[in-house]
Amino acid sequence: MLEVLFVLVGIMSVYCFVIETYSVFLSIFGYKKLEKYYTEFDPEAKFLILVAAHNEEDVIESTLENLEKIDYPKELFDLYVVNDNSTDSTGELCDKRGAMHIDTIEKKFQREGVGKSAGLQYALRALGFEKLKDKYDMLLILDADNHVDSNILKEINSQWLYEGKPEAIQTYLDSKNAQSIISVGYAISYNIMNRFFQLSKKRLGLNNAIGGTGFAVRMDWLINTGGFCYKSLVEDLEMSIEIFKSGGRVSWNHFTRIYDEKPDTLKVSIKQRIRWCQGHWYVAFNNFGSLLKGFVKSKFDFRYIDQLIYLFGMGKAVQISILLIAVVFSLVLEIGLVLGYPWAALGSLGMFILKCIMPTNILRFILSFYSYIGLPVYANYIDVSTKINPIKIVCGVFVVGITYIYTQIIGLIKWRNQSTWVKTPHKHKKKNIA
């Protein structure tokens, strides 16, 4: 029994080492000097902007004020607030600022999908669904707390035309509020993701990931695939995988930003991440077979492995926990062997794994320092205009990272339940990066 347990820990340790090594490999391509590679085109693409809102009276006016400053011909984009079953004054505040809004509480259409995606699907139905393909080229999704750079549509338009009209483009996800330890941890985690995952994958020609907000998707692709009828709590991840499996591309834009509100408290943060993990595991388990089959049929196209690693990568804190467990197991067995305890005399497989994983564990400790200190500090230094104290960065990343152990375990336990969507409260009206 002991040998079986140790073999399992050893296999997980080696698996985590492979994932960590791949993430370090990706990060190398995030250091190169950033230069805009696409040509600036005149405004051409027609955009529909949907702002997802549920009881957002605290922030919706500030968001609409920000969106009014978008620098793009007014005749080439329309903006609607998706007022999804709000019971507060969100709708009235939209009227106050002259903003068009779609109220799902009217129930003119049957609800399809889960949570946020269901509200967006309702909006597509209300606006004509199939007719949208002729009216708009791209759909830009925002959350009710989001602020954007004024050049956002210009940059997406230029990149979209330059790259041959990819299925989706994700923009840089920045923070509105990086003040508390929790919000700092979130902000820096996003900065790491932006530069050392998204930008790196872009440079390697791999598909990028859609991040929940601040992404533009090609309208004809979306409508032809049924809109936002997704089954999981993470419609962004589900869409990313569907685009990839359909042979499409998700691209990355590092030159225009969305300023998103991050949770200030651990309680709110944990609730949000449980929902993310719950949905993530659902998408992972439901797409494992098809991605593996695609890998074989494509004659071993590495892009399928890249998607699988992303889906089953787990959080770094979870990986480190497995590392620590493996180290403890190894030390206990080594001591047991020295002292001559019978229970320490594992079979050949157990001893082989013991000898193999010790070097990888030592290397992974080094890589962990790189991931938790090196990458966060560099990402903040290179990409954020207002610098955050390095000590605060490390503390924030550590707290957010270590609590991921709990959220990923709970998310794994509850992965089959994709019907309970919990709203993350928003309160920060202005972009205030500290």
Q: Are 152 and 71 in contact (CB under 8 A)?
A: no
CA dihedral of residues 68, 69, 73, 78 (deg, nearest 10): -30
State the residue for tokens 């928003």: 426
* Whether the Cβ atoms of residue 16 and residue 364 lie closer than 8 Å to each other: yes
**Apex CA 169: angle with CA 216 and CA 258, to 5°?**
70
* C-beta separation of 93 from 68 below 8 A: no
Q: Answer for the pair 278, 194: CB distance below 8 angstroms, yes or no.
A: no
Q: Which residue has the tokens 């979870």?
A: 318
Give the pLDDT score at 10.
72
DSSP code of residue 69: T
Q: Is the sign of the CA dihedral 151, 152, 157, 162 positive or negative?
A: positive
Q: From the first residue on, what is the mean pLDDT of each consecutive set of 10 residues in the chain (434 residues)?
A: 68 80 92 90 98 95 96 98 95 96 95 91 97 98 96 98 98 89 90 95 96 96 96 94 97 96 89 92 96 95 95 74 69 70 58 63 75 88 83 88 87 87 71 47
Sign, Cα dihedral of 379, 385, 390, 391: negative
Q: What pLDDT is recorded for position 115?
A: 87
pLDDT at 401: 83
In the numeric block, the tokens 């229970």 are attached to: 343
Which residues, in sequence order, are CB contacts of 228 under 8 Å at separation 6+? Answer: 112, 113, 117, 118, 120, 121, 124, 222, 235
52-73 burial: b if 16+ Cβ within 10 Å, else e: bbbbbbbbbbbbbebbeebebe
3-state secondary structure of 49: strand
Dist CA 45 CA 76 (whole Å) = 7
pLDDT of residue 358: 63
Closest CA to 28 of 362, 307, 370: 370
H/E segment holding residue 336: helix 316-339
* Structural tokens at position 59: 């922030």
Q: Give the Cα separation of 85 and 64 in Å (integer).
A: 19
Locus of tokens 């030159």: 255
In whole angstroms, what is the distance from residue 368 CA to residue 394 CA? 12
Q: State the pLDDT at residue 3.
A: 64
Q: Which domains does the chain have, with CATH numbers?
A: 1-434 (3.90.550.10)
**Which pLDDT does position 429 carry in this prediction?**
67
pLDDT of residue 79: 98
Q: Which residues contact 314 (CB under 8 A, 6 or more apart)?
A: 16, 19, 408
Q: What is the pLDDT of residue 343?
A: 59
